[in-house]
Amino acid sequence: MTNGELFLLIKNTLNNGENPDFEFDSRCIFEDITGLSALDLALNREKEADGAAAEKALKLAKRRSEGYPLQYLLGEWEFYGLRFKVGEGVLIPRPDTEILVETVINHFSAKKQTDPEIADLCSGSGCIAIALQKSMPRSRVTAVELSAEAMPYLSANIQRNEARVQIIKGDVTDGRLLDNFADPDSPGDHRQIDCIVSNPPYLTAEEMSELQREVAFEPALALDGGADGLKFYRIISCLWKEVLKEGGLLAFEIGFEQGEAVSELLRQSGYGDVKVIKDLGGNDRVVTGIKL
Ligand code: GLN
């Protein structure tokens, strides 16, 4: 089989009417397995494809045609200009989440603070924590994650991006986790940090019951925000306020219909200057507040 024939076969496998991005996905799978870019393919269409590679590529194409996420098949994905290892244990980094990272960076850049201390809660692959640390090299970032399945991805991503991010394994709804932020100079007190950032699970029970084909392969633990999707916003905004300094920034990613509810929650929990920020698609995507 030639390279051209292989590419066509991959494309035909993916073009089953359920995947509008089949052309893009075909190119990604073809390049990942053969190492040939679109240009390489154009120049080597008639060349014989490696048999083992062809077999592997077609296997991936079949899996993709059944709805398995492209990002998991490739094993890595880009976020904020960095590469992250991804797989079944972690949520796939979304372009929308880059707005959250940008919001935090803009906040500190406006304040001319280059060394904020930040905690990223429900860190997953670590994409937020790592993107922030790499963008603000003097920042100190802690990534908090509960899932044992996510842990190897989180550590590998910190390592491969050479980020200075410390991991705390635990449940962000468990107050005992705050002991990790004990103030060494004042026993019994917590250190006060500059920013809490989080893309917590925020899907409602109804949304969980009708997940898109691809999303159903992602960890429920990273998606399920309780009956009304707001469980983690309620708990984090209260509990983690303890370790946030006055004037510190709380920044959440939200579902596109949660802007008002999360803003109200923040106001009720003692945050001011509450803002809702839209993503590139014009949907509400981020809510921020300042601890009063
Ligand atoms: N953005 C994800 C979705 O599509 C949800 C991520 C989350 O719950 N934090 O559905």
d(CA 29, CA 13): 12
The answer, yes or no, to whether any atom of ligand 1 lies below 6 A from the CB of 181, is no
Q: Which residues contact 214 (CB under 8 A, 6 or more apart)?
A: 67, 68, 69
Q: What type of residue sits at position 110?
A: A
Tell me phi and psi for residue 65, to 5 degrees: -65, -20
The answer, yes or no, to whether any atom of ligand 1 lies below 6 A from the CB of 199, is yes
- How many whole angstroms from 256 Cα to the centroid of ligand 1? 10
Which of 91, 208, 252 to mutate to test ligand 1, by most ligand atoms within 8 A of the CB atom?
91
The answer, yes or no, to whether any atom of ligand 1 lies below 6 A from the CB of 201, is yes
Each residue's pLDDT expressed in tens, for the chain with a length of 292 residues: 999 999 999 999 999 988 999 999 999 999 999 999 999 999 999 999 999 999 999 999 999 999 999 999 999 999 999 999 999 999 999 999 999 999 999 999 999 999 999 999 999 999 999 999 999 999 999 999 999 999 999 999 999 999 999 999 999 999 999 999 998 888 888 899 999 999 999 999 999 999 999 999 999 999 999 999 999 999 999 999 999 999 999 999 999 999 999 999 999 999 999 999 999 999 999 999 999 9
The residue ranges of DSSP E strands in the chain, in sequence order, are 76-79, 82-85, 117-121, 140-145, 165-169, 193-198, 244-253, 271-278, 284-291
Place of tokens 């076969």: 9
The answer, yes or no, to whether any atom of ligand 1 lies below 6 A from the CB of 8, is no
- How many whole angstroms from 219 Cα to the centroid of ligand 1? 10
Has this prediction a pTM greater than 0.85? yes
